[in-house]
Amino acid sequence: MSYPNQNPYGPPPGQQPGYGYPQQPAQPSPYGPYPGVGMPGAPMPNGMPGAPIQNGMPGGVKAARVMLFVLAGLNLIGLIFAVWGLGAVSKASKQATYATDDDLAAFNVGKGLLIALIVLIVIFTVVAITCAAQFGKGGNGVRVTSIIFGALTTMASFAVFPFGLVHTALGIMIIVFVSKDDGSAWFNRPRY
């Protein structure tokens, strides 16, 4: 009894063609055509195989995008509290009838810190919304900006640690999801 041909390069000399493993029909590619080259996997002009095109945003990148929008929403809630606190400090400083110069200086320092916090919250909110909005069409710059934003959010959340725990977790997860290989491939993909 003879076994099928184990040679992957074809039948040995002197053997009838078609003997051995049957040939499989060509499988259709799940990827769309590669611009200017043909189908992915087809040889490029330099003889190297073509790169496959991703059909959609990877799950980790989608999750990072959602986390950026969530952080922007949490920042808006924090902005409301900061503006409310600024109003309360301003009202208290105006109602202080027997305040000394040291008390008025403390009120002014408190107002200045709250104004600086409001400006910082607005900047973080605008950057989060801008990065998240650019995930669909942005390049590697959006990826790098998102990683830097995640790092800055994580560091800033340590200043208000018990309240900033959600910001800490979301900032770290944004860094991880955008830094993964599928995130890098998404932001470095060819655009047409």
Q: Give the residue numbers spanning the domain of 138.
A: 59-187
Phi and psi for 49 in degrees, rounded to 5?
Answer: -70, 150
Residue 111's alpha-carbon distances to 107, 129, 186, 189, in angstroms, are: 6, 27, 44, 47
- Total structural domains within the chain: 1
Half-sphere exposure in the Cβ direction for 125 (13 Å, CA): 15
pLDDT digits (tens, 9 = 90+) for 106-121: 888 889 999 999 999 9
pTM over 0.75: no
**How far apart (Å, rounded) are the C-alpha atoms in residues 139 and 183?**
11
Question: Does the pLDDT at position 45 exceed 60?
Answer: no
- Please state, rounded to an integer, the average pLDDT across all residues of the chain: 81
Task: Output the pLDDT for position 159.
Answer: 87
Question: Does the pLDDT at position 155 exceed 60?
Answer: yes
Residue 72 maps to a domain: yes
Residue 104 maps to a domain: yes
**How far apart (Å, rounded) are the C-alpha atoms in residues 134 and 148?**
15
Task: Output the pLDDT for position 161.
Answer: 83
